[in-house]
Chains A and B, each alone.
Chain A
Amino acid sequence: MKMVSASKYNRAERELKPAKAYGLGASAFYNRAEITQDETKPNHLLVAMSSDRGLCGGIHSSICKAIKADVAEKPADVDVKIACIGDKSRLILQRVFSDKMLFHVSNIGKKPSTFGDAANIANAIVESGFEFDVGKLYYNRFKSVVSFQTTTVPVFTVDAISNSDKISIYDDVDSEVLQNYCEFSLVNLVYFTLKEGACSELSARMTAMEAASKNAGEMIDKLTLKYNRTRQAVITRELIEIISGAAAL
């Protein structure tokens, strides 16, 4: 079990390197231009980037916990909608937030995600019909083989960008360019979070499988000892019976 997940993990880590540089490049503009999100605006979209497969430790539950905590903190007049990428988060969140579910995406996690998958997901977000003012992607950032961190990355809307202060220093930016830029940025962010999430999930699964293998090994050893002891006890009892029977004669 560990060997299979180790080979998948190695591949995911290799694919993460360019994706990380790509994701950082994509968010560089937002950092430089100091674009912020106004949290008081009414429509919020929270997207849980998880997957379909379990047996990976606390990966899916930590994303859902973060979402639950954030939703509880939001003021009452805010309309929150949740989109679930991957069945596991949908199963957990549907129990609590069934009225807030916008859409969900399946078939994530069985094969490595491609840019095309990210484009389809971003398309679904844009075409969902929900005009959100504040958007957040919840994903597990890959820190190391043994640790990950659940973080969010903001999705800025065209309005948030055009209303920021520093946008005026950018030359020749009209609304169509900004719209295209925003949509492409969304795909980049979705791709980046999918890749990071996949890497975190595979490393967590590797750790979980290793622990499971070790526990199973220990259990086998303990049960083998017990079996031998029981077998010897039965033989001893039979011998005693035979001997005492023979002695009685």
Chain B
Amino acid sequence: MSLLRTLSRLPRSLNYFRPIAGVQTVRRYAEEALAPSQMSFTFATPSEVYYNEADVKQVDVPSTTGDFGILAQHVPVLSVLRPGCVVVYDNDGNTEKYFVSSGTITVNDDSSVQLLAEEATPIDQIDRQAAETGLSKAQQDLQSSTTDLAKAEAQISLELHEALLKALEK
């Protein structure tokens, strides 16, 4: 009781020390701009940006060391992509599939993910006919090539077209 009376006698200037009704003061450390449960996903090619720092649930990527899925708080990773299908699951449960030819994937320690592809296209825009002709041409090139460089290029083309057709199967 006496405390209340002393408080009421405090000069007006000390009012700002009184806690604001209804608000809990919480002590915080200076924190990252990103809450750890969110992923900042950037998926871009030189000519188009599909996602720019978007918040998505999961991304499946095909890399040279194997396919893996990335959720928030994934361990930081640097990897190189191989031709294949990238599946993006957003927070509403919708999925988007893209085909990428090559590129890099970076997962940083603040859950930011950068998927930089050299060429990417949504799966439904792939022309099956063109992919099949490309595959047979690549097979021919591989057999008829003489230099190492030509062989390597034909091999790359072959892998790409096989992956294209496989992505269309799914």
Binding between chains A and B: yes
**Residues on A with beta carbons closer than 8 Å to the beta carbon of B42:** 21, 24-25, 28
B48 & A18 in contact (Cβ 8 Å cutoff)? yes
Whether B80 lies near A184 (C-beta < 8 A) is yes
A169 and B65 contact, Cβ closer than 8 Å, known pairs A25-B44, A177-B79, A184-B116: no
Mark interface residues in B69-92 (1 if CB within 8 Å of A CB, else 0): 000000111111000000000000
A128 to chain B, nearest CB (A): 19
Given A21-B49, A172-B65: A180 in contact with B106 (beta carbons within 8 A): no
Contact residues of A between 143 and 173, Cβ < 8 Å to B: 166, 169-173
B46 near A29: Cβ-Cβ < 8 Å: no
**Are the C-beta atoms of A181 and B104 separated by less than 8 Å?**
yes
Name the residue in A22, A181, A184, A185 with the highest tally of chain B Cβ atoms < 10 Å from its Cβ.
A22
Most A-side CB within 10 Å, residue of B79, B106, B110, B112: B106
Q: Could you say which residues of chain A place their CB within 8 Å of the CB of B108?
A: 28-29, 32-33
Given contacts A25-B42, A28-B106, A32-B109, A177 and B64 within 8 Å (CB-CB)? yes
Count how many chain A residues have C-beta atoms less than 8 Å from C-beta atoms of the other chain. 29
* SS of A interface (majority): helix
User: Which residues of B are in contact with A by a Cβ distance under 8 Å?
Assistant: 42, 44-49, 52, 64-65, 75-80, 103-104, 106, 108-110, 112, 114, 116, 118
List, sorted by A's number, 30 A–B pairs whose CB atoms are closer than 8 Å.
Answer: A18-B45, A18-B47, A21-B42, A21-B52, A24-B42, A25-B42, A25-B114, A26-B116, A28-B106, A28-B108, A28-B112, A32-B109, A115-B46, A115-B118, A118-B46, A169-B76, A169-B109, A170-B78, A172-B65, A173-B77, A173-B78, A177-B65, A178-B78, A181-B79, A181-B80, A181-B104, A184-B80, A184-B118, A185-B104, A188-B46
